Amino acid sequence: MKKALYVVAVILLSLILCVQAANAQVEVPPDDCYYSGRRFICRESGAGGSTGGSNGGNESGGDVASAAPCIPGAPVQRTQRISISRLLNYDVGSYWVYYWHSSRLMRIPDGNYDADSTCVSASTLVDSCTGEILYVVGLEGYGGVATLFSCPAPLPPATNPCDISASWTGSSFSASCNNGWECIAAVPLPPTYIDVRPYPVTLVRWPTAIRCSGQGTSNGSCFVSTAGQMRNLRLSLEFRPATGVVTVTLPYLPALTLNASSPTSQPVLFQWEVPSHPAVGGNVLAGTLGGFFDEIPADFPVFVGQMKTPYRLYWRVSFERNEYGNWVGYSFNGELLPQNVRDLPASMIADLNGDGTGDAYWDPNFVISRMDENNRTNNPLYERHWSYGELLPWAIREGQGQIGWPGVP
């Protein structure tokens, strides 16, 4: 009797080993999965599926989960396939790191296989927003013994799908994605803020103040919901200050270099030694400048200075690519140089490093604000704003009785 039971036990054990050995054969993954180079990505399947689940994530951006909602900080459990080289980055416990090879159990780190191109199916906890693996719960397989799979070749790297074409419209910059998708973004010139006093009139040898209280940025974008195998394609433009420095040149004064600061910073003080008389170059009349004539006589001559500050123009393209049923996010960015912009006036091209090639833009958008004696621009008794592009007109009187403050004749 004992001998018969022993024979039966041997037969049952042999059947179990045959089943396990069959499971150990290297399998070709289903069509809805692919290997990203670091991990195996499969389309989300129904509950209980052994190959379902999107691992999400890639080297350039995170997957957009197709099933589970995105809740920051709340991981979700998914079954997915990952390469053995990737698996070894996680602590999965000795019970789960065996596989069948030549009818015997082998540990995952051992064996004759390519760890980068051989995958296993694993139960994982992933970030529900990025798809990044946080923890490997265990490997899938018969009786806790892993099954090996051949990893297919990775998809080609994502590239920028936009051939960006830019032009100057006369008041803003426009760029388009010229690849068959209607996407045109425009960005206006951002303002630079110049605060002055006394203004619009000061006196010869009177302490006169100027500062740059800040520089703005500007943005523009366009959006295409569906573009071939992509979705949520967005082209964005942004103007940013290149140096944070404004150069002001005024007649009979050294050039002033102003660092962009804040409305509470101390201004730079200077004074004129000559009035803005036509004989010394004051050949612009206040009446020809909108906003001046109502505070000083229209026939009063003024000096006209110039303000200059450089800006740089950047672009960014973002989209999601359909990768075997998973939407994977990517973004590319760069800079639009003056030579890449059509119809750009030569006066707007800034050559900051002096190599003869434009590397930034002179932004002529300046807002002039008047300060009070405490260097505030929001005092309602003094507050006023002007804009003459990059021009800075200023009237200078000789009479000591006329200080140029509002309300003083």
The answer on 242 and 131 residing in a single domain is no
Q: Which of 89, 124, 150 is the C-terminal boundary of a domain?
A: 150
Cα-only R_g, the chain: 35
Kindly state whether residues 171 and 67 are assigned to the same domain.
Answer: no
Give the SS3 label for residue 133.
strand
Structure tokens at 374: 């405490």
- Please state the φ and ψ torsions of residue 86, each to the nearest 5 degrees: -70, -40
Q: How many structural domains compose the chain?
A: 2
Q: Do 121 and 179 share a structural domain?
A: no
Asked, for residue 6, whether it belongs to a domain, the answer is: no
Q: How far is CA 340 from the centre of its chain?
A: 20
Residue 403 included in any domain = no
Residue after which a domain boundary falls, among 150, 177, 209:
150
Note whether 171 and 285 are same-domain residues.
Answer: yes
Same domain for 202 and 131: no
**One domain for residues 195 and 334:** yes
Does residue 322 lie within any of the structural domains? yes
Claim to verify: residue 104 and residue 169 sit in the same structural domain: no
In a domain, 125, yes or no: yes
Residue 368 and residue 200 in contact, taking contact as beta carbons nearer than 8 Å: no
Same domain, 297 and 337: yes
Q: Digits of tens for pLDDT over the chain (409 positions)?
A: 545 544 444 454 454 444 444 333 333 333 334 444 433 343 333 323 322 223 333 323 333 333 334 566 678 787 777 787 777 787 655 444 455 454 444 555 566 677 778 887 778 887 766 667 888 887 776 655 677 777 767 778 899 999 999 999 998 999 998 777 889 999 999 999 999 999 999 999 999 999 999 999 999 999 999 988 889 999 999 999 999 999 999 999 999 999 999 999 999 999 999 999 999 999 999 999 988 878 899 999 999 999 999 999 999 999 998 876 667 889 999 999 999 999 999 999 999 999 999 999 999 999 999 999 999 999 999 999 999 999 999 999 986 544 444 454 4
| Same domain, yes or no: 359 and 213 | yes
205 and 309 fall within a common domain? yes
Classify residue 404: in a domain, yes or no. Answer: no
pLDDT score, position 143: 58
Task: Answer yes or no: do 192 and 236 share one domain.
Answer: yes
Assigned domain for 9 exists: no
Q: Are residues 172 and 89 part of one domain?
A: no
Residue type at 120 in one-letter notation = V
**What is the span of the domain harbouring residue 46?**
23-150
Specify the pLDDT at position 4: 52
**For 38-77, what is each residue's pLDDT tens digit?**
333 433 333 233 222 233 333 233 333 333 345 666 787 8
Question: Of 128, 150, 172, which one is at a domain's C-terminal end?
Answer: 150
Give a yes or no: residue 94 inside a domain.
yes
Q: How many CB atoms lie within 10 A of CB 204?
A: 15
Distance from CA of residue 177 to its chain's centroid? 17
Does residue 283 sit within a domain?
yes
Which residue from 129, 39, 141, 32 is spatially nearest to 76, judged by alpha carbons? 129
Q: What is the pLDDT of residue 151?
A: 76
